[in-house]
Amino acid sequence: MTYTFETATYRVIMTELRGLFVVDFTWVNGMDEITIKKSNFISLPKLLAEKGYRMPFDANFQAVTVANSFYDRQTGLENQTIIVTTGRFHTFQFFLLTDKNGNVQSVTLTRVYLRYAFYEVSNFVKHFDDFLAVTQTIPDEFAWSSSYTRQILTIYHTAGNFTGTVENRSLIGAYVLE
């Protein structure tokens, strides 16, 4: 969830089986309810297919993290870098551009963080400095023994500017969690 002081608006981005909901709302301290200003739906399978990334039938969107957010006071546009993890597929980075009324102006796929597709991702995604940490678990059907841990922490490097083409990035490290 993010908050923009200039518009006094909260934003929550939620994963759904086939995409993302972007909901802008206001809330006043002491109130029991929120006021929804705008709700948008982004069809991620359609967006990914346009770039040649067709999701497997058993893949789904699991977690979203806002890595960076910037509000331009002159234009009234908010640019957010969001990272979306999927179960049994890759992790994706998007630029989300919205106007001051919460209307989604554009969604651009900028990076694909590659991984073994059969790993399951938990909802723990942490972006810090120029790195991204994601916990992943080997599913039961691929576990060779129950006496070993099946959970790993994977790390990706996120630094660099968008050059206009989708960039594939491999993981730079993994740590077995015991």
Instruction: Tell me the pLDDT of the chain (178 aa) as tens digits.
Output: 888 888 889 999 998 878 899 999 999 888 889 999 999 999 998 999 998 888 877 778 888 888 889 999 999 999 999 999 887 788 899 999 999 888 999 999 999 888 765 677 776 788 888 888 888 877 777 666 665 567 778 888 888 777 777 888 877 877 777 6
74 domain residue, yes or no:
yes
CB 161 within 8 A of CB 167: no
List Cα–Cα distances, 22 to 25, 81, 82, 150, in angstroms. Answer: 10, 13, 11, 33
The structure's pTM equals 0.83
142 domain residue, yes or no:
yes
Structural domain including 124 reads: 2-26+36-177
31 domain residue, yes or no:
no
60 domain residue, yes or no:
yes
111 domain residue, yes or no:
yes
User: How many domains is the chain partitioned into structurally?
Assistant: 1
Residue 114: phi and psi, rounded to 5, are -75, 150
Sheet holding 19-26, edge to edge: 2-4, 9-16, 19-26, 35-43
Cα-based angle 83, 88, 93 (whole degrees, multiple of 5)? 15
